[in-house]
Amino acid sequence: LNTAFSMALLVVVFAIYRNDIGRRLRLERELARAVRKGEFEVHYQPQLLSNGAITGAEALVRWRHPSGTLLAPDSFIPVAEDSALICDLGLEVLRQGCETLNDWSRDPATRGLKLAVNVSPMQLLDDEFLAAGAALIRSSGINPGLLELELTESALSADATLVASRMTAFEKMGVTWALDDFGTGYSSLSTLRALPVRKLKIDRRFVDEAVKQEGARRLLGKIVEISQVMGMDALAEGVETTEQRDLLVSLGCTHFQGYLFARPMPGSAFRQWLVEHQSLHRTAGAEYAAAE
């Protein structure tokens, strides 16, 4: 009986396993097709200073599935990263990002805004990304100083020398780097100091916990200090409440992104939001000046 039970269990576990593999393979095949068919679109989430001025946006990819649903990156980026697809997908996002920067440069409402594009660790380590990415950036004709690449902190636990040399090569073109999800990876401070990183994006978990707990608040303050000591800008991710924003401002954080200000939006909605936000911001500024 015991053996029969074990056998049955084994069969069930194997069926689940095979089903999971099957689902992944199907998704991979669909992703490859989606890259070829151009089903990916980029949404834009504003980034701001504490005075409300907009510095730019982060490009966040979405998959416009033929079924009509818009899929969030967490549902397909990990699968793309397990195959070589992330490289094609990443280049496609970069291509759309450069196109957007070009559109922005021709429009007085958006001229001079920066755009941050996520780069997967797999992509940075890929031997073709540097040449392909650099060619794309050059041929697009954008001002590379307006392009920021985001690398998640966990990437630094890979081949640190290779990562550093690739980052430096892009930096020499005028592109800047931000370290994403800072505080969740394993980078040593000495590694970090040796990298061409201009901005630390503080992971939203720190922001979330800091308003609830004194110890977390002090930790957040120290993270902001670390960025200052290293000469990097500090951007807080996932700011959802005015309480969080006010705390961050009091701790010396200078850059903000989160639902409190705006969610990621398609390009046209972003432009409209920007025009409305800027006129609001100008009015508020004018009132402030008049009151003085």
Tell me: does residue 118 bind Mg ion (CB under 5 A): yes
Site for ligand C2E in 234-263 (CB under 6 A): 237-240, 257-259
Residue 151 CA from chain centroid, whole number:
8
Q: How far is the CB of 249 from Mg ion (least distance, A)?
A: 20
CA distance 92 to 175: 18
Q: How far is the CB of 241 from ligand C2E (least distance, A)?
A: 9
Q: Which does 60 bind (CB under 5 to 8 A by kind): Mg ion, ligand C2E, none?
A: ligand C2E
**What does the buried/exposed string (b/e) look like for 36-60 if buried means 16 or more CB atoms within 10 Å of the residue's CB?**
eeebbebbbbbbbeeeeebbbbbbb
Site string for ligand C2E, 46-85 (x = CB under 6 A): --------------xx----------xxx--x--------
CB-wise, 93 or 156, nearer to ligand C2E?
A: 93
Site for ligand C2E in 104-163 (CB under 6 A): 118, 120, 150
CA distance 198 to 208: 24
- Of 286, 211, 214, 292, the C-alpha closest to 249 is 211
Q: DSSP character for 120?
A: -
Q: How far is the CB of 138 from Mg ion (least distance, A)?
A: 24
Site for ligand C2E in 12-31 (CB under 6 A): none
Residue type, 144: P
Backbone φ, ψ for residue 172 (5° rounding)? -65, -20
Site for Mg ion in 236-255 (CB under 5 A): 237
CB-wise, 45 or 187, nearer to ligand C2E?
A: 45
Site for Mg ion in 15-74 (CB under 5 A): none
> 136: how many CB neighbours lie within 10 A of its CB?
16
- Of 178, 177, 182, 204, the C-alpha closest to 259 is 204
Six token digits for residue 101: 């920067």
Tell me: does residue 153 bind Mg ion (CB under 5 A): no
Q: How far is the CB of 292 from Mg ion (least distance, A)?
A: 38
Q: How far is the CB of 58 from Mg ion (least distance, A)?
A: 6
H/E stretch holding 87 reads helix 85-105
CB-wise, 144 or 258, nearer to ligand C2E?
A: 258
- Of 159, 90, 96, 99, the C-alpha closest to 130 is 90
Residue 240 CA from chain centroid, whole number:
17
Positions in the binding site for ligand C2E (CB under 6 A): 45, 60-61, 72-74, 77, 90, 93, 118, 120, 150, 180-181, 204, 237-240, 257-259, 264
Positions in the binding site for Mg ion (CB under 5 A): 118, 150, 180-181, 237
